[in-house]
Structure formats: structure tokens, C-alpha cells
């Protein structure tokens, strides 16, 4: 006959055995999952992800280069510049003997500075038409 202690020992041993087998099954399964998702699957897809990342970097550089070329392209500069004279009340007037039409921006600006020294009570604006038929645009005002 089985004693009371032997019966309790067999129950405890049986419970520990069940727990150990369950823990071993969980550890084995988790090892396979870690192996699968840690090495096998990334090993299959890593070359493709690397190429996709390389393609994103190249596309980003290409987009940057295209946007830079679009922004850096020469803009339509006016071909003629005019110097407009204003009196102290802000009304446009004409001074005799003053050159007002120029082909170059720097030359027109230089003449405007000289006119300001010569006629201190007048203000001068450097204007031009960017496109035919549009209003004139003031580039500089002194």
C-alpha cells in the first residue's frame, strides 16, 4: 500500500514534471520563433530592404538636385530700366537734362545715387516692366 507521504510526493513530482515539460515546450517554441523572425525572415528580405533604402536615398538626391536646378535657373531680367523722379509731395515729375532710360541695372543705380546728391529734395525710383503689358515694378527707391 502507498503511504500518505509517497502519494503527496508523487502528486508534487507529477506537478513539477508537468511544469517542466510546459516550460521546455515554451522555451523550444520561443527559440524557433526567435530563430525564424530574428534570422531567417530578415535574412530573406534584408537584401530587398537594403535596395529599397538605397533607391529612396537616390530618389531624395535626385529630387533635391532637380529642385535646386529649377530654383537656380536664371530668371527673366528686364531689358530696360527707367529712373522716375518724385517731388517732395510724392508726385511724379520730370527734370530736364536727366537721363532716365538705361539698359543696365548697375548703371541706372549709379545715376540714381548721383541724381539724389544733385537734387536732394527729390526722390528717385528705379523701375522696369518684367513682362509686356504689366505694371512697372520698382526695384530701388531712394
Q: Are residues 58 and 85 in the same domain?
A: no
The pLDDT-based confidence of 42 (bands split at 50, 70, 90) is confident
Q: Are residues 52 and 8 in the same domain?
A: yes
How large is the C-alpha radius of gyration of the chain? Answer: 43
pLDDT tens-digit series, residues 79-109: 888 888 888 888 888 888 888 888 888 888 8
Which residue, 107, 94, 110, 101, is CA-closest to 142? 110
Distance (Å, rounded) from C-alpha 128 to C-alpha 122? 19
Q: Are residues 33 and 85 in the same domain?
A: no
Please give the average per-residue pLDDT across 55-59, as a whole number.
94
pLDDT at 38: 82
DSSP state of 107: H
pLDDT at 62: 95
On whether the CB atoms of residues 136 and 129 are closer than 8 A, the answer is yes
Q: Are residues 68 and 16 in the same domain?
A: yes
With vertex at residue 128, the alpha carbon angle to CA 126 and CA 132, rounded to the nearest 5 degrees, is: 170
> What is the number of domains present in the chain?
2
Q: Are residues 47 and 95 in the same domain?
A: no
Q: Are residues 131 and 67 in the same domain?
A: no
CA-based diameter of the chain, in Å?
137
Please give the average per-residue pLDDT across 115-134, as a whole number.
82
Name the grid cell of 81. 530700366
Higher-confidence residue: 135 or 70?
A: 70
Q: Are residues 1 and 66 in the same domain?
A: yes
Whether 35 has a pLDDT exceeding 60, the answer reads yes
Q: Are residues 3 and 64 in the same domain?
A: yes
Q: Are residues 54 and 100 in the same domain?
A: no
Domain containing residue 68: 1-73
Q: Are residues 89 and 129 in the same domain?
A: yes
pTM over 0.75? The answer is: no
pLDDT at 9: 67
Q: Are residues 131 and 88 in the same domain?
A: yes
Where does a domain end: 73, 96, 123? Answer: 73
Amino acid at each position: 500500500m502507498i503511504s500518505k507521504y509517497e502519494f503527496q510526493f508523487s502528486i508534487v513530482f507529477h506537478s513539477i514534471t508537468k511544469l517542466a515539460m510546459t516550460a521546455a515546450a515554451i522555451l523550444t517554441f520561443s527559440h524557433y520563433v526567435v530563430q525564424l523572425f530574428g534570422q531567417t525572415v530578415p535574412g530573406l528580405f534584408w537584401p530587398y530592404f537594403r535596395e529599397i533604402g538605397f533607391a529612396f536615398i537616390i530618389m531624395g538626391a535626385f529630387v533635391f538636385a532637380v529642385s535646386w536646378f529649377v530654383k537656380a535657373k536664371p530668371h527673366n531680367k528686364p531689358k530696360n530700366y527707367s529712373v522716375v523722379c518724385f517731388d517732395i509731395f510724392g508726385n511724379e515729375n520730370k527734370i530736364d537734362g536727366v537721363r532716365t532710360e538705361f539698359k543696365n541695372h548697375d548703371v541706372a543705380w549709379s545715376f540714381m545715387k548721383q541724381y539724389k546728391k544733385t537734387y536732394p529734395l527729390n526722390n528717385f525710383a528705379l523701375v522696369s516692366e518684367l513682362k509686356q503689358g504689366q505694371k512697372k515694378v520698382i526695384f530701388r527707391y531712394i
